[in-house]
Structures are given as C-alpha cells and as structure tokens.
Structure 1
C-alpha cells in the first residue's frame, strides 16, 4: 500500500535526503585514483553520524557497510573493499541515511581520473534519463509513464535497461510501495497522487540489459562485463508536480560543475 506523506513528513524526509546529498558531496572530493572504497565508506559513516543521523544501509538485510559502492561493470549493491580505485574507473556510490524516523536514499556515479569518452556518454545519458523520468512523476500519471520515459531514452542510445532492479517508494521504510521500474508502458501501473514520495533510480548498462550476481549474495554485475551507470534522486509530489528532496549540488560544488539541471524540480527554499 502506498503511504501518502503530509507536508510535515515531506520536510522531515528532505532533511534525511539532504544528509545523503551532503555525504555524497563530501565524498566527491575524496574519490580519486589510489583511494579505496573501504576508506570512503568509513568517511561516510562518520559524516552521517556527525550530522545526527544513522547510516540507512548498515545492517539492513545484513548488509555490512554504510555505502553500496559499485565500480565499472558492477551495477549496484557492491560491498566496499580495499582495492584502490584506478584512473579511468567509474563508481556508483549509493547512500542512505535515517533521521527523525525517515529515510533518505540516493546515488551518483562518479568518474575516477580520466574516463573514456564512451563511458562519459553512458553516465551523461543515464543522468539525463533520471530527470526525464522525474518529469513524468506528477499527479495523474502512472508508474509506467516514468518507466517508459527512461527506457525509451536510454534504449534510443543503444543501452541496456536493467529489469530485475527497480526504484521504490520511500519514507519510514527504505523500500515502500510502489515499485518504480526503469521500463514500462505509458498509462500502466499505480496512479500518482499528491504526497507520494519515491526514489527514482535508472540503472543503465553500456551493453546487455542482463545481469548476474556474485557469490557474496550482494554484488550485481553486467552479464557482458561492460560498464553500468546508476543515478538516484528522492522525489515528492508537491502541488501536483515533482519536487526534489535530494540534490547533486553538493557534488557539483565539490567538482566545480555548473548546471541548471535541477532548477525546475528544486524547492524554492532549499538551503546549502
């Protein structure tokens, strides 16, 4: 059952989402060749706790770490390890935080050093598809409208859209209804109403849409070993339209990136 949120609940969720946003922003300047994921994971746990929240993923379903860190051909749910990142890698960092009883949960795929042009394009298209999908998350539309928009855009670039892993509702639980696939048909699925809150998260592969799982029970890989990209935002329907609860602005500030991609979805009172 979909849990509709009040304006007050949405503001509490924004607090949690912004802790995740700030955590990813802090990590942005630390992600470079030679650094390992375990070190970044420890930084993130300390940062989240220092901001009055609990790591949202640590211990959930027995996951052993604060961050899901998934480099290169890993799609999602990678377990941080001590292997140094290399120049040319990409790495998806998925982070959760729990504060005031509500979760924030979003992700960004970072470039490590100088990345190949075809990989840069995968990241660009995947992130663009996130906002294309968010634009469809409004009163009167349905789950299939978001999925169709993401799928159509990514497949038009020749990429594979993962089927087995999906976005989700968000609130007092990390995973609430409805499921939010990155594929679908227009006009199908749950209808969107005022006060719905979801995590939309395209997981897009350079090659095949097919995936496989490592024996660790967590890590998901592309079946063909080609790179995968993953971007995720927390979004609420406010006054009939999608409004971001999370932001990549802290990442962009750290990396010196100037963009207006979030402006149409941004809360007018969002503060740094």
Structure 2
C-alpha cells in the first residue's frame, strides 16, 4: 500500500489524514518490530475505516441476536428450536448466519451445553434442563461483513460450582481484552486469560482459540490462550480478532465427536465455559465491536 502512496496524499485507510501522519507512521513502526524478528501482520489484515464500519454494523446485528435469544433459553426448550429462532431473526434483520453450511456445518448457531466445549450442533433431541450451562455462539454476515460473539446462559438454578466457572470464564475474556493495545502482542492476551483461569483452579483449552474476522469468517491471526506475554503477532491498529478463551473445570484435554466431526467435549466430562467478543486494535487501545 505504501509504495502507491505519496506522503502528502490522503491515507488509504480512509481516516481523512495525510498518509505521512497516519499509516506511514504505523508502517515505520511495524518495520522496526519486523527488524527485531517479531511477527507482524500482513498489511491486508489491517482494516480500512470503511471495513471497520461494516464490521461494526454486522456486530450490532450479532449482539441484537444474542439479546433476543436470551428469553428463550429455558428449561425444556430444544436446541433445534433455539437454532430456528436465531435463523429466522437473522433473516428478519437482513443478515446471514455465518455458520450455516460453513465447511459443512449444518446449523445457524453453535450451542454447547455443560461438558461440550464448542461447536455443539442444535438438535431436536437435545433439550435444555434446569441446572445446565450453555454457550450460544452466534456468527453473522451483514452486507458482506462478518461478526462473531458468544455468551454463557444459565438454565434455571445452576450449582455454585457451575456459576463460578461461568463467572471466571467471563473474567478471563475481560482480562484478555484489557491486554489489547497497539504494539503489544497476542501472547499478552493469552497469558492474562490463562493466569486467571489457573489461579482459580481451572484449565484453558489449548487446541482451539480465537481468530481474525471481518472480511471472512476466519482470518489470521489464530489467537492462543496458552501463550506467553511478549510472543505472537504484533498488535497493530486496524487488526480485528475474537477473544474467546475456553475454560474447563477439570483438565484441558478435549476430543471431537467422530460421528459429526464438529462437537468438541472435555475428555474428563467436566463442564466448560466460554465468552467471546470481537475486538479492534485502535491507535490508543481497543474497541469492543460486539459490545
């Protein structure tokens, strides 16, 4: 991008500033880190102002869907019914469920209950019961832009042990997001989330993490939550990705259901919890897009 830009031209990102006062400075800083051997994002991963606004608009729809479905997460409802409601409301809002037919995934939402870590497939045979904890993961396409977030829902009265897991998992996500700032590293996020989980006696799933998003459902970078501070990709303004540590009550080991190739379980059968938000790295810190 920079080789096509005059320093006094308006910056390619759409900020309205001159290139020399905008991305020229960012690219110079990236070059310094690259010379030190750091992993820096490909320029194509840095979103323009127009793209960021498109992701914001998609994110507003995404959050509206999670707000909507909460009233229906009750004892006795099937996950198939929740999927139908999400699908219909997404269409009503003018969006497209990003998961539907994605690499063969058959439904419009992922619903993961108790010991299901992620990618739980809705079914008329799966019924929510009092005491369950469920992660509902909504992914949305709106005007060609992608957004992704999830929340934990407690069905009726849950045990104090499950409630604590749900609360700590949310804290892990929030502490990870606090580390999102320009010229930090992805590993800063993982370390903060993992340290908090371990301090509370829990473990974090190693094999599955966050991901870049916006122009596609899954982009670089992959975001680990068992990483170390000061490692991983450099956080540069314009980078958009999800923060979604998966926290297990027991061991971190997981397995994938061979029959459907999607549903991921804890090996020890103990509950897992996860919260997810889409985050933008800004010049001064971060912006939570799926707020």
Asked whether the two chains share a fold, i.e. TM above 0.5, the reply is yes
Runs of 5+ in structure 1 lacking a partner? 248-272
> Match of 2:121?
79
> Match of 1:150?
193
User: What do residues 216-269 of structure 1 show as CA deviations (whole Å, max 9, x unaligned)?
Assistant: 10000001000000110011012331111102xxxxxxxxxxxxxxxxxxxxxx
> Match of 1:264?
none
RMSD in angstroms over aligned alpha carbons?
A: 0.9
For residues 100 and 90 of structure 1, the distance between their equivalents in structure 2, rounded to whole angstroms, comes to 33
> Match of 2:46?
4
> Match of 1:255?
none
> Match of 2:72?
30
Q: Is the 8 A contact 1:193 1:240 kept in 2?
A: no
User: What do residues 63-86 of structure 1 show as CA deviations (whole Å, max 9, x unaligned)?
Assistant: 000011110000000100122210
Larger radius of gyration: 2
> Match of 1:186?
229
User: What do residues 150-184 of structure 1 show as CA deviations (whole Å, max 9, x unaligned)?
Assistant: 00010111101000001011111111111111121
How far apart are 1:115 and its partner, in Å? 0.4
Runs of 5+ in structure 2 lacking a partner? 1-41
SS at match of 2:137: strand
User: What do residues 117-153 of structure 1 show as CA deviations (whole Å, max 9, x unaligned)?
Assistant: 0110000000011110011111010011100000001
Residues 1-150 of structure 1 mapped to structure 2, 5 A cutoff: 1=42, 3-82=45-124, 83-150=126-193
User: What do residues 76-110 of structure 1 show as CA deviations (whole Å, max 9, x unaligned)?
Assistant: 00100122210000111111110121101111111
Structure showing greater relative contact order (alpha-carbon pairs closer than 8 Å, 6 or more residues apart): 1
Q: Bigger CA drift: 4-13 or 228-237? A: 4-13
2:263 to 219, 225, 229: 219
For residues 50 and 43 of structure 1, the distance between their equivalents in structure 2, rounded to whole angstroms, comes to 10
> Match of 1:230?
274
SS at match of 1:172: coil
> Match of 1:263?
none
Q: Is the 8 A contact 2:114 2:134 kept in 1?
A: yes
